[in-house]
Structure 1
Amino acid sequence: MTGIAQYTGTFLPSGLAPAELIAILVAVTDNQPRVMTLLGGEALPSGPFESSHRSLQSSLRAWIEAQTGHPVGYLEQLYTFADRDRDPRSGDVETSQRISISYLGLVREQDAAGAGRPSWRSWYRYFPWEDHRDSIPEEVPRIADRLTAWAGADPLKAQRVDYLFGLNGKTWNEELVLQRYELMYEAGLVDVPEFGLPMAGDNRRILATGISRLRAKIKYSPVVFELMPESFTLLQLQRTVEALSGLHLHKPNFRRQIDQQELVEETGEISSGTGGRPARLFRYRPAILEARMLSGARLPLSKS
């Protein structure tokens, strides 16, 4: 088996639904949220669970290592997808249902040279309407026009369009990435070239699921520090949160809430970066390291 199928599971005989493990590896580099892809950006790292592996996670880590050569630390299970006819690559009714178990991994970007032609891509290349840091993306009004035409006189469809895309007095909710993508899929817009790069099978839908989860999770868990170097400036931390959320944050509010929650402490060192005034360096507190998944800390995500 060659091509994309080599990295996205194995079809099984006798009507059995094939199962695959699939990884969304996220890094933030140069203020861009980036995802590890294979085959020129067409697919996410994945592979079938094999009996020689002691667990689902260890199996996926082995596939990631083989396909990307990239080390993985933080990894959490997302969702299991088992919809019939999800995979357009198979025309066989018996094999058109596949089970995919998705995982979210947070890493610091390194060059990768695995067997799957790995490369890092900004996730906004797949979902350009999701980046509201500087302004409303130019794709949003074009999508809105086409969705409005699709909704026609159906009030329920029109309400969904308004709610998901922040139209007619509704507030944009950055967490609803998956719901927006599925609405566009329903309206036949996800394959329009100007609305983002395509991916194999339903990898783009799975990526949307991961983005939704991470945007929600950074509000109640300090997982963002998995993406940070050992020491960082508060501006670097803010830019990372902004990159993930797709929102511009109010700088004084962000810093005040970081101080109040005691998430970080000064290292006593000054940044050596060029341009602008030297800034104090911080690290996340050891207490956060010990209990990060039990913490109720919330990062500020209020818009300016």
Structure 2
Amino acid sequence: MATNSTAVEIGLNAAIVTVEANDPKILVVTRDAAGKSVADGLPLGSFDPLLHRTFETGLRASVEDQTALHLGYVEQLYTFGDRGRHKQPDDVDLHIVSVGYLALTRNDGEQTGAIERGGSQWRNWYGYLPWEDWREGRPAILDETILPALRAWADRPRESSAGRLPNRRSRLRLAFGDDDFPWDEERVLERYELLYEAGLIEEAVADGRLKATGLAVPLGRQMRLDHRRILATAMARLRGKLKYRPVIFELMPSEFTLTALQSTVEAISGRHLHKQNFRRLVEGAKLVESTGATSTATGGRPAALYRFRRDVLEERPAPGIKVGGR
């Protein structure tokens, strides 16, 4: 074994998602252990094989310690281990490999105070990736800033000794739906990585790829290290998964109106859905059943309350809400 090998530490990152007031929220750590403000980042802990039997138990323990939040649904996303992804002045000889997780939780407000005292906050995930929110139509930032800059980058001459590289224009069409290609809401990570490669987001500056993005206004809120990439991975996974698994109900209370369910699906998918089509889709798929009760919480006419019909998990292999996409 080589004596000059680099030490490796296993980190555990959590992209923790909830929906509050019809907006998707991600839990971010905004203060360090000493109470000092730091750039937004996802909860991050270390795996200790002497304390944690599995990565997931280590993740749950670190999240609870950092944020006072008890996690519900958790699934492993991806392992992030690229060299240089975790640059910090005090770990020159240490390489951090992070195992990323997607976690879903219901935000009933009871834990908010403890979360904020622990140095964390819920933030709208579209604040970090604003081009992904199409609920009010096509985002202006695409045509005003992103696409002109990406087209200029794609047409820029480049040299490479690695042979023929993938065509930038083709990648742009696929990722951003340019040249009349359809927009695919699941290509979140591809869009983020294209912006990073083009040097249009602040993380590319922080990583030393260039001195400045050249843009007058940053494209979304920056996160520390590669946490915005992990967030993009989590968003893509969740958008894809809600089409074939009933994960959306992990974000819903035990009883809900169909309007609330639609708003939650729209929040995650970033798309506006036709009300009657959505109701036919949900009821036709037999994902929900009426409780026989009504709610007057909206202040209007009473709305029927529903609950998730768990028998659907035993009836077919892919009981999701197929709202579009590829």
What TM-score, normalized to structure 1? 0.89
Partner of 1:34: 25
- Displacement of 1:206 in angstroms is 0.6
Per the alignment, in what secondary structure is the counterpart of residue 255 of structure 1?
Answer: helix
- Specify whether residues 14 and 160 from structure 1 end up closer, same or farther in structure 2 by C-alpha distance, changes over 3 A only: closer
Q: Which amino acid aligns with 1:78?
A: L
- Displacement of 1:19 in angstroms is 1.2
Matching of residues 15-164 of structure 1 within 5 Å: 15-39=6-30, 42-50=40-48, 51-90=50-89, 94-95=93-94, 97-109=95-107, 110=109, 111-114=112-115, 116-141=118-143, 142-152=145-155, 156-164=167-175
Per the alignment, in what secondary structure is the counterpart of residue 41 of structure 2?
Answer: coil
1:234 to 258, 262, 267: 258
Matching of residues 246-285 of structure 1 within 5 Å: 246-285=270-309
Deviates more, 1:105-114 or 1:232-241: 105-114
- Displacement of 1:167 in angstroms is 1.6
What TM-score, normalized to structure 2? 0.83
Q: Which amino acid aligns with 2:78?
A: Y
- Displacement of 1:90 in angstroms is 4.8
Report runs of 4+ in structure 1 exceeding 3 Å deviation.
90-94
Corresponding position: 1:175 with 2:186: yes
- Displacement of 1:14 in angstroms is 6.0
Partners of 2:91 and 2:246 lie apart in 1 by 44
CA contact (8 A) 2:192 2:232 kept: yes
- Displacement of 1:277 in angstroms is 2.2
Deviates more, 1:162-171 or 1:218-227: 162-171
Which protein has the bigger helix share? 1
Identity %: 45
- Displacement of 1:291 in angstroms is 5.1
State the Cα deviation string for residues 223-252 of structure 1 (Å, max 9, x = none): 000000011011111110000000111222
Structure 2: segments with no counterpart, 5+ residues: 32-38, 158-165, 203-212
Per the alignment, in what secondary structure is the counterpart of residue 100 of structure 2?
Answer: strand
Per the alignment, in what secondary structure is the counterpart of residue 113 of structure 1?
Answer: helix
Per the alignment, in what secondary structure is the counterpart of residue 286 of structure 1?
Answer: coil
Corresponding position: 1:209 with 2:233: yes
Q: Which amino acid aligns with 2:319?
A: A
Structure 1: segments with no counterpart, 5+ residues: 1-12
- Specify whether residues 242 and 161 from structure 1 end up closer, same or farther in structure 2 by C-alpha distance, changes over 3 A only: same
Cα RMSD (Å): 2.1
